[in-house]
Each structure stands twice: as structure tokens, then as C-alpha cells.
A and B are shown apart, each in its own frame.
Chain A
Amino acid sequence: MSELLAKKDIVRLVDQWLAAGRRVAGPQCVNAGDPHRQTDLINYTWLTKVEELQLDGFVRPTNTIKEVVFPRHEKLYGYEFKGKRIELVPAELPTAEQIVVGARPCDAAALHILDAVFNWDFKDEFYNRRRELTTIVTLACSKHDDFCFCTSVGAGPCDKRGSDVLLIPLDGDRYEVRCLTEKGQKLMAGATTTSSETAKEPEGPPTRFTLDALGEFLAAGYDRPEWPAVTRRCLGCGACAYTCPTCHCFDIVDEGGASGGARVRNWDACQFTMFTAHASGHNPRSDQSQRQRQRIHHKFQIYPDKFGELLCTGCGNCSRNCPVDMGVLPVLKTIAAKS
């Protein structure tokens, strides 16, 4: 027995959620109506009305859903200078419920993976509060492109990790609904119809490389000579990190003036030259190949060693958004082939 939902019912549900004052995010064409645009830009954004929601017609959005639990800019606390004293003003944590509808499974799985690092030696209350407030409805991918490699890293178009409700497309603009958590059940209560039809789980992209081969290369040593050649075209921007669902590095800065300000955290990227620059002027990762090497090791060796999951869900965003078509996939394919 299965539960089904029609597309128009999803539309109605989203409408209801918005009307009830909940925050709803989903894929949207953000440059519709822009005379200069050459292609559509689909991003996850907060919806103001249900008509903005676009569930399909594209492989995956250009950005990720990590913003809903890990915003690109977040105030940690405020401070005020009163004469010679400093007063701290705690930040207000959000209270509004958040729903993400139409998330790709690779995006949701990433949140599950990130839960570990945000609750490791320090329980990040900002992340956790947002995570508690968020219910995620994923949509299994019926399309993939050459950049997708979820199936090579233990993920896939029906990955259940991080998802509260999984929708699998059925013909006739319908979906099979699988509530994976209590939160998901609560959200969908009464909205679905029971049926005996089940949807066929989509297959996903062919394997691009094997994790064994990759693991062998990475385990064979840190100073492999292949790194400079394979990473030479990287220009050191943060496009890969910022469009990656699992990248979570941040920089903490104070923004303010003579009367006070706020301590904030902003996204940071390990590919920036300044990422490991010391106050002395020394930079242990002054070469791009060192920074790239660190990225691959972090995602495919260090994080899994520590937390038991790869820090990658194979969404392909890094390569898709890279100005010189790098990201991790070309690097992984090359070094796996070297083993």
C-alpha cells in the first residue's frame, strides 16, 4: 500500500502553508522577466506565492538548501560600547517553521551529513534551532546530466538521508509519497490518498569512478605529485564551495563602529588564498594545488574517517558552477584512474 499525491494538491498544500505564516522554500526561476538573461536561473528561494514554485523542467537548482539551516550571513550576537563597558546582546534565534518543498535528495542528504559536524565538539545552537524548525520534502530526480555523480558516492536519486517526505514521480503529474519521519507524517497528515500503485525508483547516473580506487589514491600519501597538474586550471574562487550542499566552512567577523556592532559568521571557502593565511604572513597552503588537495582529502578521507559519511553527495554543482569546469568530479575521475 502506498500514499499518492497529485501535483495540484502539492500546489494547494504550499498555498495553505504560506497562508498559515510558515516560511516555504522551493526551486524558482529567479530571473524570469529579465531582458538580459541568456538562460533561466533556477534557485531555491523563499516563496512569496505558490505560483513561483517550479518543481521540474530542470536537473537541479544552481544553489542548495543549506541556506535554510546555515545562512550565508548570520548574526551570532551583538555588542554595545557603553563608555568603557561592553554589553553583549544575544541574537534572537528564529521561531518560524520552515518547509522546503521540491528539494533534491542530494541536497537533503547533505543536511544529514552536516548534522554530525555541527554537533561534534560544540552543539551549534543556530544550526540546530533552524534544523529543528525545518521539514524537508524531497523530490526524486527523474533527470540527471553529465555532472551528476550521486551514485558513485553512495547517494542516489532516492536517497532517504535528511528527508522527511520523499516524493517519487508517477505518471499523470502524480507522486508516490513516502513519509520517512514523524515530522514528515505530521506535515502530510490527511493530504494523501492511499493506493496500491507504487512508483518506480529512478536509476540515476552511471558510475563515474569507484570509491575504492579513490580511497586507494588518497590513502597512498598526502604529497602525491599528481596534484599540481590536475588542479592547475583552478582559479581559486568560492563558486564550488558556495554551491556545494555539504561545504560548511565559515569566517567570523565583527561588523560595527564606535558605538557597537555585531559578531557575524559568513560563508568561507578553502580555495581562497587567504583561507589559511597566518597573521605572521606565512601561508601553509599558498599554492592552489595544496588547497585543492586539502578539499578532496577533507571530503573523501578526513570527514568520513571522523564522522562515518563522505562529505559529498555527488550533486555535481561544483563542476556545473565552476568557471573553468573543474569542481571535484574531473579531479576524482583523474586520480581514481591513477590508482
Chain B
Amino acid sequence: MLDELRQTCRRLLQDGAVQAVIGYGRASPDDPAVPVFISKPEDVDQLVWDDRCFANLTKYLSRKEVLSLGKLAICVKGCDERALLVLEKESQIDRSQITVIGLACDGVGQPRLAKCESCDVHMPRRADIVVGKATVPDADAGAKRYAEIEEFLKRTPQDRMAYWKKELSRCVKCYACRQVCPMCYCRQCIVDKNRPVSISTSATLKGNLAWQITRAFHLAGRCVGCDECTRACPAGIDLRLLNLSLAKAAEENFGYRPGMDPDAEPIIGAYSQQDHEEFIR
């Protein structure tokens, strides 16, 4: 599959169809895979693909340092490809200008990351070129989607609040979670505004709670569960749990999973006459 990938990218660059390929590379076998940007056909041998290719490369489609390279091809796993669809719906990318190389994936990480246990997109769904063959997802993989949050929700509210206070007191406001997230593309994040100050920038419990809760809400109905935020956090905070709870709310209340259906309208800002209205009394 790696050969197929490298050949595909070599061809794309040689034909001039793209000016740069965003993919995974590695300096030496023991190093983790890192994002690489290949502009020359002879460099495609730098590309790698294995179960340590964690990064969600779609973030780079919002970075001007990468957009300046010209027409792009991008390697995406199934989970990353969902992010592409959300970006398209939110007018951040012009899909017709990007060559999407889908990588068939059976899961990353040793042991496999939590998100891979319930993955139902082993094969990226809307790629221009698909490389490799993945296994078919388990029939019940999708049903396990919210298992962790359902388990967590069995704890009492006091218990859960104590948990989050403990976890979030470690947050240092490095914003690694925001910077790796493809959905965080605002030119100036709300936390960086001070007229008015909506969220304290201080890494105190108050400032951290405000930041993480706001970010989770801004991702409601948009987060595709790539879990890069959880992996990136140097303070080991389980952001996956927070995002899962809102993803569950979006699916249960509106039947919506971001990045799955090209015809579905994003749920923030759209409405249908069938929407629940229990809050109107």
C-alpha cells in the first residue's frame, strides 16, 4: 500500500496536478510519524503510512504556511476525511481544488486509540483516490460510539464535577487542543479577545473551565472525534469525554453526525419544523 501511495503522489506531482502533497513522513524508523509537505516528485519516498500516523492533516488546509505552496493533495484517514466535509460545509475549503487521497485504515496506536474501537469509517468515504484495503468495520462498532461517555454519565453530577475540576486544574492554556483541531479556524479565537473579556486567559480553574467548556460548545455538532486534542494535550486531560457528550447530544436530538452526510445541513443555524420544542412552555 505504501508503494501505491508513493507512486500516486509521484504521478500527481510530475503531472503538475498538484504542487504539494501533505502526508506523513518520518526522520528515522524509531521516530513517530510527522506531517510532511512534499513538493518534488523525487521526495515522495519520504512518505510513510503505518499505525503511528496519528496527526489529522486537514488542519493544514487552514494554515497559510501550507496554502501558499499551491494546489494541494492531502492524505486522510477515514476520521480525518470527515473533517474535510465539515470544512467544506463551513465554506473553509473548495473541495474541487484539493486532491483527496484516502488511506484505508484499521486503526492507529499501540494499543489502538479509543476512537478506533468504534470506528465505522475504515475506508475514507469521499476520496478522489483510495489507497489500500481496510477491514470491514464490526457490525456493532458504531453502537459503541458513546460507550465511554455513557459509562461516565453513570457517576453522580458531584462526582463528575469533582473529576473535571481535578483534570482542568492541570490545564496550562497552551491551546495545543485548539491548534491541532481542524474545526478551530477562527482568525482570532474568542479567548484572545479582550473587548470584552469573555474567557479569562489565566490558567486558573475558573479560566480553564471557561475555556474548555466554551471550546466544547463551539464544537457541538462540528467535532468529528479525531481526538487529536486529547493526544496533543500535554496535561493529559481527557478532552475526548467532553466532546463525546456533545456529539451524543447532536446525534440523539437531531440525528446528526458531522462529516458523514454531504447533503445534511450543519445543525448550528439550520432548523427543521420537526425540531424539539420542549423548552418552549
Contact = CB atoms under 8 A, between A and B. Distances in A.
Interface of A: 30-31, 34, 36-39, 41, 43, 62-63, 72-73, 146, 228-229, 231-233, 235-239, 241-243, 251, 253, 255, 264, 266-267, 269, 272, 274, 287-289, 321, 323-326, 330
Contacts of A237: 174-176, 178-180, 232
A236 B35 contact: no
A196 B78 CA distance: 63
Contact of A323 (B170, B180, B200, B207): B180
Contacts of B27: 330
B174 A238 contact: yes
B228 A238 contact: no
Contact of B200 (A38, A255, A287, A321): A255
Contacts of B148: 36
B32 interface: yes
A231 B63 CA distance: 12
B192 A274 contact: yes
A72 B172 contact: yes
Given A235-B179, A253-B201, A267-B203, 8 more contacts: A37-B238, A63-B172, A73-B203, A238-B175, A266-B203, A272-B175, A287-B65, A323-B176
A238 B174 CA distance: 4
B202 interface: yes
A30 B236 contact: yes
Interface of B: 27, 30-32, 34-37, 55, 59-60, 63-66, 111, 113-114, 148, 170, 172-176, 178-180, 188, 192, 194, 197, 200-204, 207, 228, 231-232, 234-236, 238, 240-241
Q: State the majority secondary structure of interface residues on A.
A: loop
B265 to A, nearest CB: 29
Contacts of A63: 172, 234-235
Nearest to B109: A38
Nearest to B193: A274
A281 to B, nearest CB: 11
Contacts of A243: 174, 234
Contacts of A253: 194, 201-202
B232 A266 contact: no
A235 B63 contact: yes
| Residue from B64, B200, B234 having most chain A Cβ neighbours under 10 A | B234
A229 B35 CA distance: 12
B202 A31 contact: no
